[in-house]
A and B are shown apart, each in its own frame.
Chain A
Amino acid sequence: SAVISQKPSRDICQRGTSLTIQCQVDSQVTMMFWYRQQPGQSLTLIATANQGSEATYESGFVIDKFPISRPNLTFSTLTVSNMSPEDSSIYLCSAGGTANTEAFFGQGTRLTVV
């Protein structure tokens, strides 16, 4: 099993600014994922964070808007850049889940852009 510490848990940010969300895993994991979730809706995958290489982004998400770092096998960050109110959402990081094992999630970051 793995425990993921995600921070901040919530933030209120001014439009045009950037916010970096951090996730620390208590064990080494190969794959980490970043999701966005609107209230009452399902998870939308933003990107897969790869250690030692660039993140793999899903359709509709670009590196300039959501730069991701993955410096080692226990840590990753997601930055939401040049924020607008449309970026208000819950952001979740996750590890595992793709190799007949369960996925583990951070507690989420509730972002409000004003």
Chain B
Amino acid sequence: SQQGEEDPQALSIQEGENATMNCSYKTSINNLQWYRQNSGRGLVHLILIRSNEREKHSGRLRVTLDTSKKSSSLLITASRAADTASYFCATVLANAGNNRKLIWGLGTSLAVNP
């Protein structure tokens, strides 16, 4: 079953505004990753944050991780129309041993209006 839950499911903002997406999970993780998907094509990796990290930045992206709340957020600052896509979080469970795989959230559909 899916471990990750994301909110909001859909988000519509104006260009230049910030977009924040949240991801929650249920059990201990090794890391949490964020991906972007355009129009049902292949996913592109954005950021990986390890369980002992609290915040990471990459360009206009900022990811936070709160392991006590089992949640993460992805902030996109100064959004552009080209940021319109679906965003997914994925986790790698701790202690998965040989059964390592990515557990995917339900995704947030972001629309940035020009």
Question: What residue of chain B has the Cβ atom nearest to residue A97's Cβ?
Answer: B102
Asked if B104 and A103 sit within 8 Å, CB to CB, the answer is no
Which residues 79-114 in A have Cβ within 8 Å of B in the complex?
90, 92, 94, 97-108, 110
- Chain B interface mostly helix, strand, loop or mixed? strand
Minimum CB–CB distance from A89 to chain B (whole Å) comes to 10
Of the candidate stretches B12-20, B39-47, B61-69, B71-79, the one touching chain A is B39-47
Checking A33, A104, A110 against B101 with a beta-carbon cut-off of 8 angstroms, the contacting residue is A33
Checking A45, A90, A102, A110 against B33 with a beta-carbon cut-off of 8 angstroms, the contacting residue is A102
Asked if B104 and A42 sit within 8 Å, CB to CB, the answer is yes
- Chain A interface mostly helix, strand, loop or mixed? strand
Checking A45, A48, A98, A107 against B42 with a beta-carbon cut-off of 8 angstroms, the contacting residue is A107
Minimum CB–CB distance from B52 to chain A (whole Å) comes to 11
A9 vs B13: C-alpha distance when bound (angstroms): 31
Asked if A42 and B107 sit within 8 Å, CB to CB, the answer is yes
Which residues 16-41 in A have Cβ within 8 Å of B in the complex?
31, 33, 37, 39-41
A70 vs B2: C-alpha distance when bound (angstroms): 26
On chain A, the residues within 8 Å of B2 by CB distance are: 42
Which residues of A are in contact with B by a Cβ distance under 8 Å? 4, 6, 31, 33, 37, 39-43, 45, 48, 56, 90, 92, 94, 97-108, 110
Which residues of B are in contact with A by a Cβ distance under 8 Å? 2, 30-31, 33, 35, 40-45, 48, 50, 88, 90, 92, 96, 99-102, 104-107, 109
